[in-house]
């Protein structure tokens, strides 16, 4: 039987306090694991007590959903399944389509790929500015009524958009990048979630690997999505690696890894917050989950806050194109000119 982990509440869903972001098993980062390695990682996560698995239509243009479908669904009753729509394959390329027709089509495709009759938590992955959020939410609400999804989520959306969407149908969770070096949710989204009783899911809580020591001076290779993100390119990369070294020094003093310190910091920001780090390594997954056993004193967490005031990271977190598809609030001077 799986080992129990501490749990947290996301809307109507009870999930392990750390979930698994599944993107880099099929998409985004390099190198990617082979099929057998990806399957072992997913099953090890389940055996380790992870009960929250996060995928999306865009991850590998459906291949990630297929991976979860064939690997985990024989144990469907043991975990909460989350996936996403709107940001998906459009004419063979990454694109946005928040129309009700597209949401319905992408959801039906996801159900087929995942081999399930419903998805527990289904997000709008991004805001399609061409479609009023109320129209998109109408399709999501109808999917709830039809029993295809249990709860609705939003990803990378602003507090104003969250409130508009929540007025149409209750939102269970908002997912946004959140880590010591990406604190945009603190501008308004965390407060909006607390006000409305919405859970918050923190993706990339380890700074897309940099804050876990997975990036060096060479950066990332061509074909890795981070190669389009200014923070991982010169002249910004050197500054950001120096920030990591300072974080690692705090972690060393506290007797934990930098990755564990990041996760403990995110978890400390509220009982309604669930981080979903991703990895292709069983050893790294075990390291991440061990963060739930830490009992760090307040001064250690305060030291992380002091190291990473808003805006301390060098470079925008997204390219100009990716930022144009993101509704989340930004700090002054953050955007690519």
Told to judge if 318 belongs to the known catalytic residues of this protein, a careful annotator would answer: no
Average pLDDT, integer, range 166-195 = 97
Q: CB–CB of 56/81 below 8 Å?
A: no
Other C-beta atoms closer than 10 Å to the C-beta of 126 total 23
Give residue 332's pLDDT: 87
d(CA 64, CA 278): 13
Q: What is the DSSP letter of 155?
A: E
Residue 194 three-state SS: helix
- How many CB atoms neighbour CB 229 within 10 A? 19
Strand partners, 175: 155, 201
What was the pLDDT predicted at 216? Answer: 95
Determine how many CB atoms are found less than 10 A away from the CB of residue 252. 12
Hey, what are 313's tokens?
Answer: 């990271």
260-303 pLDDT, tens digit each? 999 999 999 999 999 999 999 999 999 999 999 999 999 999 99
| Residue 336 reports pLDDT greater than 70 | no
Q: Is the pLDDT at 311 greater than 90, yes or no?
A: no
Q: Are 278 and 22 in contact (CB under 8 A)?
A: yes
Q: Which among 29, 59, 122, 123 is annotated as catalytic?
A: 59
What is the C-alpha separation between 13 and 120, in angstroms, rounded?
Answer: 8
The C-alpha atoms of residue 55 and residue 68 are separated, in whole angstroms, by: 8
Tell me the average pLDDT across 54-74: 97
Strand pairing report for 20-21 and 52-54: parallel
User: Would you state the pLDDT for residue 92?
Assistant: 76
Calculate what percentage of the chain has a pLDDT beyond 70. Answer: 99
- Residues 6 or more apart whose Cβ sits within 8 Å of residue 305: 180, 265
Convert 78-104 to b/e letters by CB count within 10 Å (16 or more is b).
ebbbbbbbbbbbeeeeeebbbbbebbb
Other CB atoms within 10 Å distance of the CB of residue 218: 7
Q: At what angle do helices 298-307 and 236-254 cross, to 10 degrees?
A: 170
Residue 212 banded pLDDT, cuts 50, 70, 90 = very high
At residue 222, φ and ψ (nearest 5 deg) are -60, 135
- One DSSP character per residue, 72-107 reads HGGGGGGSEEEEEESEEEETTEEEE--SHHHHHHHH
Read off the tokens for 165: 């969407």
3-state helix, strand, coil in the chain (%, to 5): 45, 15, 35
Per-residue pLDDT at 2: 61
- The pLDDT of residue 334 is 83
Condensed to tens digits (0 to 9), the pLDDT of residues 91-121 reads 777 889 999 999 999 999 999 999 999 999 9
- CA dist., res. 89 & res. 329, Å (int): 26
Q: Is the pTM of this model over 0.75?
A: yes
pLDDT, mean over the chain: 95
- As a whole number of angstroms, the distance between CA 248 and CA 19 comes to 23
Round to whole Å and give the CA distance between 318 and 201.
19
Judge whether residue 88 has pLDDT over 90. no
Map out the domains of the chain with their CATH numbers.
Answer: 7-210+269-296 (3.20.20.100)
Give the least confident one: 50-59, 193-202, 217-226: 217-226
CA–CA gap between residue 34 and residue 301 (Å, rounded): 37
Strand partners, 95: 88
- What whole-number distance in Å separates Cα of residue 197 and Cα of residue 185? 15
The whole-number average pLDDT for the span 128-136 is: 97
Closest C-alpha among 275, 276, 272, 274 to residue 194: 272
């Amino acid at each position: 039987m799986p080992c129990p982990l501490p749990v947290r509440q996301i809307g109507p869903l009870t999930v392990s306090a750390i979930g698994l972001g599944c993107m880099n098993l099929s998409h985004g980062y390099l190198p990617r694991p082979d099929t057998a390695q990806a399957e072992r990682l997913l099953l090890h996560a389940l055996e380790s007590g992870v009960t929250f698995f996060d995928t999306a239509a865009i991850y590998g243009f459906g291949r990630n959903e297929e991976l979860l479908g064939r690997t985990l669904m024989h144990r469907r009753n043991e975990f909460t399944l989350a996936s996403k729509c709107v940001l998906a394959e459009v004419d063979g390329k990454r694109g946005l389509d928040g129309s009700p027709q597209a949401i319905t089509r992408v959801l039906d495709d996801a159900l087929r790929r995942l081999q399930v009759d419903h998805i527990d938590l289904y997000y709008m992955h991004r805001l399609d500015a061409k479609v009023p959020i109320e129209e998109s939410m109408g399709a999501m609400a109808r999917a709830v009524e039809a029993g295809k999804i249990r709860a609705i989520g939003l990803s990378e959306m602003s507090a104003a958009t969250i409130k508009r969407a929540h007025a149409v149908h209750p939102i269970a969770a908002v997912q946004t990048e959140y880590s010591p070096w990406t604190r945009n949710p603190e501008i308004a989204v965390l407060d909006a979630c607390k006000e409305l009783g919405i859970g918050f899911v923190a993706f990339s809580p380890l700074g897309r690997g940099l804050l876990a020591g997975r990036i060096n001076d060479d950066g990332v290779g061509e074909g890795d999505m981070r190669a389009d993100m200014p923070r991982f390119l010169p002249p910004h990369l050197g500054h950001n690696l120096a920030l990591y070294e300072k974080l690692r020094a705090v972690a060393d003093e506290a007797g934990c890894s930098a990755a564990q310190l990041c996760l403990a910091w995110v978890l400390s920001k509220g009982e309604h917050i669930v981080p979903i780090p991703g990895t292709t390594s069983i050893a790294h997954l075990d390291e991440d989950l061990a963060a739930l056993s830490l009992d760090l004193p307040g001064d250690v967490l305060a030291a992380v806050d002091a190291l990473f005031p808003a805006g301390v990271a060098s470079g925008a977190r997204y390219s100009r194109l990716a930022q144009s598809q993101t509704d989340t609030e930004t700090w002054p001077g953050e955007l690519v000119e």
